[in-house]
Amino acid sequence: MSLRAYFVGVDVGTGSARAALVDAKGRVEAQAVEMIKTWTPEPDYYEQSSEDIWRAICKVVKQVTAGVSKTQVKGIGFDATCSLVILGANGAPLTVSKSGVAEQNIILWMDHRAELETAEINAGKHSLLKYVGGQVSLEMEIPKLLWLKRKLPKTYGSIWRAFDLPDFLTWRATGVDTRSLCSVVCKWNYDAAAHSWNTEFLRGANLEELTREKFAALGSDVQPPGKPVGNGLSQSAASELGLAVGTVVSTSLIDAHAGALGMFGCRADDANDGDDVQGKMALIAGTSTCHMSITRDACFAQGVWGPYQDAIIPGYFLNEGGQSIAGHLLDHVLKTHESYSELHEKLGGDKHIYQYLNKLLPELAERRGLTDLSCLTQDVHVWPDLHGNRSPVADPTLRGIITGLDMTRGVESLAIKYLAFVQALAYGTRHIIENLYQHKRAAFQTLLFCGGLAKNPLYVQCHADACNLPALIPDEQEMVLVGAAVLGAAAAGHYDSLESASKAMGGTGQLLMPNPNTVELHNRKYKVFLRLLEHQREYRNIMQGNSA
């Protein structure tokens, strides 16, 4: 009798490395997590270590595969944050830090040091920028490389390879420098339509030297996600990971994109919602939230990244929206309130505080004679971009606004403030959706959720209500890890395509319907939400002397 086949999914998030052992049906049999280091030497500077991350990966992969034979693991897929990894001669780490410490060789995705360089690249108005909503983001890699050239020229002049973190992992696992189309088209301004790096764009960004030697530092072998890399695990990597030499390694995905891949194949338990992935928006909701959707025809939407050709599933164009902070924002709201210490001591942890507030809100609404807890914020309105707006305004300088403050103190005031911020995040999602509609995108039928915030029922219900769309919550919560394992299954040939692997391993989920009784309330609050953006711009104009 043949042994059961398994696939390993590896996910490197902002603060941890995770691995899962996943079967061919998409069921997670084992998972493990290991924290990774982040240095914050200055405000908005975030640095990590590729060696620290690889060490963490080796530990978690060994843990999840300890109970099975090496021969049962047929493939491994990697996903990670879109962070910039810099390597020098012989693949040694090169510092990206003013401290000069070689170990600190990664500029994290959320690092905002390259603000000036981003503005300069956008001022060039190159035609490639139409694929990133009209302007490159300071979270992307080309501005960060320009920052390195200017601020750390010794590092820049010694670069052997500049990797997106997901592609560093496949290189580290195989010894083969293959770049995923997902990484380079989404974060490096690679020209997917021409299947090449754009020399004119790089020269315009003052990075002409990257065009030499056939773009060696950037990678000359670009492949779609779900393709086998080289001859699989190298001898050294196999030993470090506890797997067999030659185990199939797939081209990688960015972490949010892996979550989308896993969820696009998910279907409702009690309904046949069809196979058309065009009607689905996948929200990967954690520290930040990514809004992923794919279409057969390209949709060029101002302020939304894409359309990225073949970036997740071949044959489809990806549009990617996002909120730079989401889960982190709610943590900030919680921890800066006067009642936080009291609740933390009383309940014994942040998770329990969220559960407590979610239970308190309907009680408050009933106590006040309101028909729904959404009405508690009828006079409290929030613009939530305390860390800038990624989509669809694409303005990293935007900041937050709250109106309707009163003299109320204590836990009830925290509950209402928390609700107002959760609703604001939902209106931000609606803002992205309506922006896509303005650019002729086909209508959405379902919102799909995974990530830490997907475990918060208030967050999910507010999205369903604010966007007036059903929300699908996969029964398997770790869909980013499933998506990474889907890569391994496709690369190993267990399924005949990445799309069929996603459908076979995406599983089922519970459908949460929007509340029809709150549609009008949310329509009105959404109008206020948009007005807050207008006001912020108006106030800036006044302070800059541009308005009376």
DSSP conformation letters of 396-462: TT---EEE---S--SHHHHHHHHHHHHHHHHHHHHHHHHHHHHTTPPPP-EEEEESGGGG-HHHHHH
387-430 confidence digits (pLDDT tens): 899 999 989 899 999 999 999 999 999 999 999 999 999 999 99
Rounded to an integer, what is the distance from CA 192 to the centroid of its chain? 21
- Which residue, 346, 367, 379, 462, is CA-closest to 412? 367
Tell me, what amino acid is at 526? Y
Q: Are 290 and 284 in contact (CB under 8 A)?
A: yes
Quickly state the pLDDT bin for 325 (edges 50, 70, 90): confident
Q: Phi-psi category of 210—alpha, beta or left, where left has phi over 0 and alpha has psi -120 to 50? A: alpha
Residues 6 or more apart whose Cβ sits within 8 Å of residue 523: none
Q: For the chain, what is the domain count?
A: 1
- Which residue, 310, 304, 83, is CA-closest to 191? 310
* Residue 57 belongs to a domain: no
Question: What would the mean pLDDT of 325-347 be, rounded to a whole number?
Answer: 95
31-56 confidence digits (pLDDT tens): 999 999 999 999 999 999 999 999 99
- Read off φ and ψ for residue 134, nearest 5 degrees: 100, -15
* Residue 331 belongs to a domain: yes
pLDDT at position 275 over 70:
no
* Residue 399 belongs to a domain: yes
The mean pLDDT of the chain is: 95
* Residue 282 belongs to a domain: no
* Residue 536 belongs to a domain: yes
The number of beta carbons lying within 10 Å of the beta carbon of residue 184 is: 22
pLDDT at position 2 over 70:
no
352-378 confidence digits (pLDDT tens): 999 999 999 999 999 999 999 999 999
* Residue 367 belongs to a domain: yes
Q: How far apart are CA 476 and CA 488, in angstroms?
A: 18
Quickly state the pLDDT bin for 546 (edges 50, 70, 90): confident
499-524 confidence digits (pLDDT tens): 999 999 999 999 999 999 999 999 99
The number of beta carbons lying within 10 Å of the beta carbon of residue 371 is: 12
Is-cis flag, bond preceding 514, omega within 30?
Answer: no
Residue 53 vs residues 11, 122, 452, 517: alpha-carbon distances, Å = 11, 32, 21, 48
Q: How far apart are CA 130 and CA 127, in angstroms?
A: 6
79-105 confidence digits (pLDDT tens): 999 999 999 999 999 999 999 999 999
Q: How far apart are CA 77 and CA 480, in angstroms?
A: 11
Is-cis flag, bond preceding 307, omega within 30?
Answer: yes
* Residue 440 belongs to a domain: no
Q: How far apart are CA 8 and CA 12, in angstroms?
A: 13
At 276 the pLDDT is 83
User: Domain range for residue 345?
Assistant: 327-431+517-543
Question: What would the mean pLDDT of 306-325 be, rounded to a whole number?
Answer: 94
At 270 the pLDDT is 64
User: What CATH number is attached to the domain comprising 410?
Assistant: 1.20.58.2240
Q: Phi-psi category of 196—alpha, beta or left, where left has phi over 0 and alpha has psi -120 to 50? A: beta
pLDDT at position 1 over 50:
no
- Read off φ and ψ for residue 223, nearest 5 degrees: -130, 150
Q: Are strands 253-254 and 84-87 parallel, antiparallel or unpaired?
A: unpaired
* Residue 212 belongs to a domain: no
| CA atoms 324, 80, 490, 73: torsion sign | negative
Q: How far apart are CA 324 and CA 289, in angstroms?
A: 7
